[in-house]
Amino acid sequence: MFSEESIQRIDKIKRMKNLWIIPYAAKFNKKHNISDLFNVSQTWFRDINDIIPEPKSDIITAWRITLYRSFWKISFAKLQDATGEIQIMFSKENCSIDIWTEVKTWLMPKEKLNKDQTMDEVSAFKFVEKMVDVGDFIWVRWELFLTHKWELTIFIKEFKFLAKAIRPLPEKFHWIQDQESIYRQRYLDLIMNKDSYDRFLFRSNFIRLLRQFYHDNWFLEIETPVLWSSASWAAAAPFITHHNDFDEDFYLRISPETNLKKATVWRFERVFEIWKQFRNEWSDPSHIQEFTSCEHYAAFWDFEDNMDFTEKMFVYLIKWLNLDPVIKIKDKNWVENDVDFGRKWDRIDYIEWVKKESWIDISVYSREDETKLRADIKKAWIEFEWMDKMSLPTLIDYLYKKVLRPKIIGPAFVYNYPRTMQPLARVSDRDENIVEQFQLVVNWWEVLKAYSELVDPILQKANFDEQAKAQALWDVEATSPDDDFVLAMEYGMPCQSGWGMWIDRIISLLTWQDNLRDAVLFPLMKPEGK
C-alpha cells in the first residue's frame, strides 16, 4: 500500500515525462566523489555573489538528496554518496536542468517537429521545488564556495535528474529505535545511520585485508561445495534439503573442512576459503544459523604453528585497520573489559582448568562413560539444558562453556582438549587422551578454532563409526560419517594444521556490537506478521 505522499510522488513521475524529463536514467558517468571535495584547496574559492551571475567550474558528481530547504530565491539540500555528504545550493537566478535534449528529439513525433511546435519550458529552480524530493538521485555540475558559516557548499550550475524515490525516507529518530526495521530494511539503515554504514565498510576492509594476508603467506583461495552428502566435522545440527534430480537428501555444509583437506592430498599445500556456514540451532544475540567463516589448512604445520600464525595475523589486521591494540569488548552479560591484542596472548590448558573450576577431570572419561559424567556433573551442582540427551563430547563441551569460558578475558588460546571431543583432530604423541587443538577466546567469546589434523584413515574411520553411534542415540550435534573423505585420506594426506574463524563474531567484537545481526548486512528474519 502506498501513502498519500507516495501517490503524489508517482504522479510527479507522470508530470516529469510530460516535460520530456526521464525519471529513471539509463546511466551516468560520475567523475568525482564527495569526499574528494573536502581536499580541494580553499584559497581559490570565489564569493557567492560573484558565482551566481556566472558560475565557472565544470566538475560533476552525483548521488542521493537527503535534506531539502527552500528560501524564496535560493534553496539548500544535502547530497550524499558512498564517500560522504555535502551541502548544495540552488539559485533562481542561475540554475539550469539538462532534459536529455537528444532523447526528447528522438521521442518527439515527427509531425510535431516539422510544424516547429514549441515544447513546454522547464524552470530549473521551480522543478527542484515542485518535483524533486528527499531520496531522489541527481547529478550536478557546480562550483565550490564557503558559506558565511564556513560550510563547504556546492553551487549548482546545472543538474540532471537520475532516479525518483517513490517512498519517502523514514524519520531519522524513530527509525533508529526500531531494531526490527533496521534488520529488515538495512538499505535504509545505511542511509540514515552513518555508524552502520561505517561498520559495513569496516567489514569489507577486514575481509579484503584478511585475503591479502593469506596471499602474502602463500595460501591459495579455493571453493568447496555448499551442498554435500554428509554433515561432517562440527558438533552441530545440519539443515537438510532434497535434491529433486538425484532424489536424495543433502546437507547444507556445517564446515568445508573435509573438502579443503582433500585438496591437500596432492599439490595444494596451503588453502583457505571464506564461506557461508549453516547450523540448524537456536537463535540469540551470539548465534545465527547462517554465518560467514574463514577456514584454512597448511601442510606440515601443527597447532602451535597456527597459534603463532594467528597472533601474526591479528597484528597485521589491527595495524592496517588503524585500530588501537587495546579494544573494549563486552562479554555475554554485557560486562565490558579491555582486551589487549598487542601483548603476548595467554595459553590455558583446557583439561587442567576445567578440573580447577569444576573438580571434574574430563580426561578420564571414555565414550562409554557418558552416564557417569552426567551424574558427576549433577553431583557438582552444575546443570545445563538438554544434558540428559547429550553424548559424552557434547557434555564436556557444555561443561567447559558453563564453568571456564565465561571467566576468560584474553585474548587466550585454550588448548589440550580430551580425545573424545574431536573426531578429526590429531591425538597428541605425548598423551593419547588429548588432541592437539586450540580455541581463541576473547572476553568469553570463542573467535576461532584450530587443530593438528588427523590424517590416519584407519583411525579416522573408527572415529566416524563412534559418531554414528551417538547419532543413533539421537544426539543431533554428533558428526556424520564421510566415507568419501576417508577414501581420499587413504591415498595419503600430509601432516597439517587446520584453522577456522567466525567472521561475523570477530567483526561484532571489533566494532562493539551486542548482536551478531548488527555485523550481518541482511540477517535472516521471520516473514513479517509471524
Give tens-digit pLDDT for 7-22: 999 999 999 888 888 8
Q: Which of 121, 519, 506 is nearest to 323 (CA)?
A: 506
- Rounded distance, CA 289 to CA 283, Å? 7
Q: How confident is the model at residue 114 (pLDDT cuts 50, 70, 90)?
A: very low
Q: What is the pLDDT of residue 319?
A: 95
| SS3 label, residue 421 | helix
From residue 187, how far is each of 184, 365, 520 by CA, in Å?
A: 9, 52, 12
- Return the exposure string of 70-84: e unless at least 16 CB atoms fall within 10 Å of the residue's CB, then b: eeeebbbbebbbebe
Work out the angle between the directed axes of helices 503-510 and 194-216 (0-180°, nearest 10).
120
pTM: predicted TM-score of the whole model, two decimal places: 0.85
pLDDT score recorded for residue 58 = 66
Whole-angstrom Cα distance, residue 167 to residue 271?
46
Residue 378 banded pLDDT, cuts 50, 70, 90: confident
Band the pLDDT of 31: cuts 50, 70, 90.
confident
Distance, CA of 199 to CA of 189 (rounded, Å)? 11
Q: Which residue has the cell 569526499?
A: 35
Q: Is 227 exposed, middle or buried, given 0-12, 13-18 or 19+ CB atoms closer than 10 A? A: exposed
| Rg, Å, the chain Cα set | 30
- Top pLDDT among 295 and 142 is at 295
Which distant-in-sequence residues (6+ apart) come within 8 Å of 179 by Cβ?
none
State the burial class of residue 95 (Cβ atoms within 10 Å of its Cβ: 0-12, 13-18, 19+).
buried
| Nearest C-alpha neighbor of 255 from the set 221, 282, 228 | 228
Would you state the pLDDT for residue 473? 56
pLDDT at 66 over 50: yes
Determine the average pLDDT of the residues in 433-437.
Answer: 88
For domain 189-519, give the CATH number.
3.30.930.10
Average pLDDT in the chain: 86
The domains of the chain are located at 4-169, 189-519
pLDDT bin (cut points 50, 70, 90) of residue 177 is confident
Question: How far is residue 316 CA from its own chain's centroid?
Answer: 20
**Which position has the higher pLDDT, 112 or 472?**
472
Q: Which of the four pLDDT bands, split at 50, 70 and 90, describes residue 366?
A: confident
Q: 480 or 97: which carries more pLDDT confidence?
A: 97
Domain 4-169 is found in CATH 2.60.40.1080: no
4-169 and 189-519 agree in CATH topology = no
